[in-house]
Structure 1
Amino acid sequence: MKRTALIVALACIAAQAHADTDFARARAIAGEHACLGCHAADKKLVGPAYRDVAARYSGQSNAAALLVKHVQQGSAGVWGNVPMPPNRIDTADARLVVNWVLAGAPDH
């Protein structure tokens, strides 16, 4: 039941303001910046799964801005003891990747 609720929540997130997100470009940017070395869409690697990030920040109006800040400046203690290092990424590219993550990191 919890999995079904999560799937429904993620579908709702994807249908929100992320309709204009170029998912293929966002995934390419994530690859270029080594994000995919620590994160995967559906399973924890070094960092949390993107779908877990989407679920945690679902419904939070400041989620995108907060996550862009985490991507660019790094963060510590948000998902455990392993810190996320800062990433040298353009703000527009960071927003695109964050919107993709908040949409559940779809492949299409």
Structure 2
Amino acid sequence: MKRLFLATLMLSLAQISCSKKEEAPKEKPPVADNTSYEPDAFPTVKPANPDEPVATDDISVGKSLVEGADCLGCHKIDAKLVGPSYQDVAAKYTDADIDHLATKIIDGGKGVWGEVPMTPHAGLSKENAKKMVKYILSLKK
């Protein structure tokens, strides 16, 4: 019985040592953390030639900023997700509320649309937050 056990053990060890060795897995690139923002995460659009004005309007820049941030994880254009739809926000607010809404994007908040808090976006500039708000308000039905 001991011989059978030893023979099986030796055979198993020989098989393991002769099998093809796998390469160590390559390190995966870091995953973006959408809970915090670097100041450069939302770059300001600058003209190629500093003497020329920026050709892109605030609404299209705002749309790009919204699409590049984590906003679409909680908001949809035309339906409630975790937070209100952008069309519902646009229906409730006017251009007079741009500063207020930009501050809400940066500071976060809760209570206006329910008890689920909106994540703050502290690394976002006030200028870019206003562009995001202008885009959202442009979605008014």
TM-score normalised by the chain length of structure 2: 0.54
Change (3 A) 1:68 1:34: same
The equivalences for 1:29-44 within 5 A come to 29-44=65-80
Which of 88, 93, 96 is matched with 1:52 structurally? 88
Runs of 4+ in 1 over 2 A off after TM superposition: 20-25
Which structure is higher in RCO with an 8 Å CA cutoff and minimum separation 6? Answer: 1
d(CA) in 2 for partners of 1:31, 1:89: 14
Distance 1:47 1:97, change over 3 A: same
Identity rate of aligned residues, in percent?
36
Deviation at 1:78, TM superposition (A): 1.0
Deviation, 1:104, is 1.1
Tell me if the contact between 2:91 and 2:140 (Cα under 8 Å) persists in the aligned partners. Answer: no
User: Residue 109 of structure 2 corresponds to which residue in structure 1?
Assistant: 75
Larger radius of gyration: 2
Alignment gaps of 5+ in structure 1: 1-19
Task: Write the distance in 1 (CA, Å) between the matches of 2:72 and 2:63.
Answer: 9
The residue aligned with 2:119 is 85
CA contact (8 A) 1:33 1:89 kept: no
1:27 aligned partner = 63
1:100 aligns with 2:135: yes
CA distance in 2, matches of 1:79, 1:35: 15
Structure 2 residue ranges without an equivalent (≥5): 1-55
Q: Deviations over 1:5-45 (max 9, x none)?
A: xxxxxxxxxxxxxxx84433222211222111111111111
Determine the C-alpha separation between the residues in 2 that align with 1:95 and 1:53.
14
Relative to structure 1, the CA distance from residue 92 to residue 105 in structure 2 (aligned partners, 3 Å threshold; closer, same or farther) is farther
Give TM-score scaled by structure 1 length.
Answer: 0.70
Question: Over the residues paired in the alignment, what is the CA RMSD in angstroms?
Answer: 2.1
Give the count of matched residue pairs. 85
Aligned partner of 1:17 in structure 2 is none
